[in-house]
Amino acid sequence: MTRTFKAQALATMMGTTSDTIRRATDESEILVQRQETGPRTRVYTVENVYELAQWRARKKGEKRAKRPVVVTVYVPKGGVGKSTVSSNLASILPLMGLKTLVIDLDFQSNLTLSFGYDSELSREEAAEDAVPEERVVDYHFGCLFDRWPEKQPLSKVLKKPFGEYGPHLIPSDVSLDGLDTLMTFEALENRNSVSMFAKLIAEGRSGKNPDLDLSSYDVILFDAAPAKNRMTRSALLASDYVVAPISLEKFSTKAVSYLSSVLTELKEQSNRCPELIILGNFFDQNRTRVLNQLSMIRRTYNDAWLSAVIRRSEDFPKTLSSDAFELPLCLSKPSSAGADDLRKVAQELMTKMGVL
Ligand SMILES: Nc1ncnc2c1ncn2[C@@H]1O[C@H](COP(=O)(O)OP(=O)(O)OP(=O)(O)O)[C@@H](O)[C@H]1O
Ligand SMILES: [Mg+2]
């Protein structure tokens, strides 16, 4: 069954009142169904939600920075919330009127799965099990490279899980690992594979590459794997910012200082590196260990620390364990504490990055 939303949920997501949502719906003439029985309340599909958000943003006519800002969500540590932050930011930014592309750069495909795609499913299996064809993943980011054996244009690779005005996704599957291999071969042939990747993104964001025109996006997000492989280093080199989610309960200072050394190394080799932004996840201010870790981080990286944090909440793992079609938390439970934290994080990040 398709998940639907009431006006109040849209109001929470967009930081306004349900009356404003109802008025905007009338004015925009977006086709919204009403409940078949009872008070005939409006029920919005997820596509309606994004259509309305886009209509409101266009009406406000806010000016945006010219080129997309490129952000990699990365820290060299597993399970700290990189994919959670990526999927939720990608879902929140279009609600703020920002056209957003999120790229799954991890062949484990957790981000792809969180948008309802099944990266292990073949077309034949989908047909046999009556699974909608659109859930199948045929291509990934590696397929956009000239040297990929069956190069594809962006239009073939792109998925739009919540319609045209929601987040756009470049999914991944296990064969994305081949991109790292391809890059290793490039390096063995004395070509700079890391800058090949950065060049592809640079051309894409300037609109110079007709097969990969990224110039209409406001924000491009990479969800990186925890590994420090060529793909991750390349995404970092291609990015303006790196957002590093850390769990302050564990050995977070170590992971951040390691990331910081990776950035210094990049700067030395390429004279370019993204600006570091550290994001506290699994936050619990009642724990002494968390506060100790926080003061250690702030002593060294105070400028990089984002004041908005994401609290620990059981709502996060719950969204993953339920139905494969479940939505990111900011959509499935817009009034939860986790969703509220994520919206504040998105707002502070976009302000810091000069996008808003
Ligand atoms: N604030 C939070 N509170 C509770 N659980 C969380 C929170 N943030 C993330 N999680 C949970 O932690 C687990 C790991 O999250 P996620 O997959 O986003 O991490 P990751 O850094 O992308 O992992 P990997 O390194 O494997 O790619 C998931 O089950 C997720 O639901
Ligand atoms: Mg991940």
Span 79-106, pLDDT tens digits:
999 999 999 999 999 999 999 999 999 9
Span 54-86, pLDDT tens digits:
999 999 987 666 679 999 999 999 999 999 999
Please state the length of the chain: 356
Pocket lining: 252 vs ligand 1, CB cutoff 6 Å: no
Please tell me the distance from the alpha carbon of residue 227 to that of residue 82, in angstroms, as a whole number: 12
Q: Using alpha carbons, list the distances in angstroms from residue 268 to 48, 242, 259.
A: 47, 17, 14
pTM given for the model: 0.97
Pocket lining: 226 vs ligand 1, CB cutoff 6 Å: yes
Identify the band that residue 324 occupies on the pLDDT scale cut at 50, 70 and 90: very low
Query: What residues sit around ligand 2, an ion, with C-beta below 5 angstroms?
Result: 82-83, 110
The answer as to CATH 3.40.50.300 being correct for domain 64-352 is yes
Give the closest residue (by CA) to ligand 1 atom 29: 317
Give the closest residue (by CA) to ligand 1 atom 5: 316
Q: Which CATH class is domain 1-62?
A: mainly alpha
Please tell me the distance from the alpha carbon of residue 296 to that of residue 292, in angstroms, as a whole number: 6
For ligand 1, pick from 73, 77, 83 the residue to mutate: most ligand atoms within 8 Å of CB: 83
Hey, where are the domains in the chain? 1-62, 64-352
Span 193-251, pLDDT tens digits:
888 999 999 999 999 999 999 999 999 999 999 998 999 999 999 999 999 999 987 67
Instruction: Give the ligand at the shortest distance from the Cα of 249.
Output: 1
Give the closest residue (by CA) to ligand 1 atom 30: 317
Pocket lining: 78 vs ligand 1, CB cutoff 6 Å: yes
Q: Is 310 helix (H, G, I), strand (E, B) or coil?
A: coil
Q: Is 220 helix (H, G, I), strand (E, B) or coil?
A: strand
Q: Does residue 338 contact residue 315 with C-beta atoms inside 8 Å?
A: yes
Pocket lining: 241 vs ligand 1, CB cutoff 6 Å: no
